[in-house]
Structure 1
Amino acid sequence: MNGSELKRVGFECNDPEFNWKRGEYTATLVCKAFVYNPSQNNIEISTVSVKRWSVDNPTLKDSLEHAWVVKHPDAIKGSETGVITSENTAHAGLTTLEKDLFGAYAGISIEYVISPQNSTDLTFTGFDTTIIKQDDSDLILNVGVIVPTVLLGEVVELPTVARIIWDFGGPIVLRKIVDELLG
């Protein structure tokens, strides 16, 4: 058994959720390829790499880093399934997140190369569709400086702003305010 028997039996990506970190919104996109070893022998894996990838949402594609971090098992045991994980981080500002990303669907395609020890490389492609999410509690705190000007005509302290927004309906009201502010 040399590894050529490996079969891709599944592929999925998470729904990336943007959170406020270090002055920007970030979301981790995690995709998993499930690879089955139908033989009775273990197949040692030397390397796995992302050869090519695409995202059909241009804003999400532009927000992703260029390199993917790939994690794979050292071996896939006989008659078992191994999981190959590919991760990438998206970065966005508030306006881009609200106008172009939040609630949008994105088709993700990843072509990866598995290099079993003592065998020819295998190429697999996986595709999944995700929906882009965001943590609304982060949004409340981030736009807190803008909202008081609209609601009260003056700037007040951030904890007060968060409390006002929450008291008036939380994320639903905030989303309407942000939509108005961003046009």
Structure 2
Amino acid sequence: MATNGKRNNLRAWTLFLPGAVRLEGAHEYTPPALTLVKTSIRTGGMDAAIGLDDGMEELTCSFKIYGYEPAVLALFGLSEGTTSPRITARQAINAGGWTGLVEELEGMVSSITPDARPSGATAEASLTVEMTLTYYRSTWGGTEQALIIPAQFVRRIQGVDKLAGIRNIIRV
């Protein structure tokens, strides 16, 4: 249940490749999980251990597209002097009125796995694309929800930069 007392239901979504090219065959998208790496500490004067934030797990996402898409294959891997692809996921949410969730995903396309080729229902054969992210930004109705840039030591959640103090101390 959302904080407004109504469910925020996903109605539709689409993916865009760099250059605002809509990926029309996209039929499944798994956004990155935001997961902390946690370490436990227990001193002699503590009855139980407590968890401490020790950074984040690697950010990954995946999507599936029907058929074969040469534009996606061109994004596979990184080579010297190339920029990471930025894929944009646009999602329409009914939250007592329409709003949008936009996710910007930048990083390395690390895996492109074709489905087995069936003897029937061949039109459903897909490519699964996995990305390892170096940049993730999520906005809800135009308001930033998360901005994570691991190499720059940035983790901003709902406008609060969780790593600013540490970043200033270590001068990153």
- TM-score, reference length from structure 1: 0.29
Q: Could you say which structure has the higher helix fraction? A: 1
> Of the two, which has the highest radius of gyration?
1
Q: Could you say which structure has the higher strand fraction? A: 2
- Structure with greater contact order relative to length (CA < 8 Å, sep ≥ 6): 1
